[in-house]
């Protein structure tokens, strides 16, 4: 059925499979890789600073922090693709 409001058609929003896959992948990462999840979460959602500043805050070299973030992103990417395949 199509919902109507005051004789106007309300278009249903298309399902955003990528967003669903990303959220599920983040949940899986939080459970399976808690330390790496925390690195990603702090960097992208809490701190909102550059990699150089984040490395300095954690007391490690820029290159080391960059590699850690890269590994975390690759795990998240792999999990996201797995979840996307399940949805499609």
Bridge partners of 9? Answer: 4
Cβ-based neighbours of 30, under 8 Å, separated by 6 or more: 37
Q: What's the confidence (pLDDT) of residue 30?
A: 97
Q: What's the confidence (pLDDT) of residue 14?
A: 85
Residue among 16, 14, 8 at smallest CA distance from 87:
16
Question: pLDDT digits over 26-47, tens only?
Answer: 999 999 999 999 999 999 989 8
- The whole-angstrom separation of Cα 84 and Cα 67 is 25
Rg (the chain; Cα; Å): 18
Average pLDDT, the chain: 90
Q: What's the confidence (pLDDT) of residue 15?
A: 86
Question: pLDDT digits over 55-76, tens only?
Answer: 999 999 999 999 999 999 999 9
Q: What's the confidence (pLDDT) of residue 48?
A: 85
């Amino acid at each position: 059925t199509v919902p109507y409001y005051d004789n106007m058609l309300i278009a249903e929003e298309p399902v955003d499979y990528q967003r669903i896959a990303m959220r599920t992948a983040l949940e899986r990462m939080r459970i399976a890789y808690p330390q790496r999840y925390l690195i990603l979460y702090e960097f992208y959602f809490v701190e909102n600073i550059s990699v150089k500043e984040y490395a300095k805050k954690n007391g490690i070299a820029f290159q080391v922090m960059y590699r850690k973030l890269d590994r975390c992103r690759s795990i998240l990417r792999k999990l996201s693709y797995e979840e996307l395949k399940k949805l499609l």
